[in-house]
Amino acid sequence: MTRQLRPALIITLAFFIITGLAYPMMITGIAQLLFPKQANGSLIRQNGVVRGSYLIGQLFQSAKYFHPRPSAAGNGYDPMQSGGSNLGPTNKLFIANVARRVVTYRKENGLSPATLVPPDAVTASASGLDPDISPENARLQAGRVAQARTLPVQKVLNLVKRYTEGRQFGILGEPRVNVVRLNMALDKLTANTHK
Digit-coded pLDDT (tens) for 163-177: 999 888 888 989 999
Taking the C-alpha atoms of residue 151 and residue 192, their distance in angstroms, rounded to an integer, is: 12
Lowest mean pLDDT, pick from 16-20, 57-61, 97-101, 111-115: 57-61
Higher pLDDT, 68 or 86: 68
Taking the C-alpha atoms of residue 106 and residue 117, their distance in angstroms, rounded to an integer, is: 8
Digit-coded pLDDT (tens) for 96-143: 999 999 999 999 999 999 999 999 999 988 887 889 999 999 999 999
Taking the C-alpha atoms of residue 183 and residue 190, their distance in angstroms, rounded to an integer, is: 10
pLDDT band at 194 (very low <50, low <70, confident <90, very high): low
What is the value of pTM for the model shown? 0.77
Quote the radius of gyration of the chain (alpha carbons, Å). Answer: 23
User: Which H/E stretch holds residue 178?
Assistant: strand 176-178
Q: What is the mean pLDDT of residues 50-78?
A: 85
Q: What is the DSSP letter of 49?
A: E
Phi and psi for 90 in degrees, rounded to 5?
-105, 0
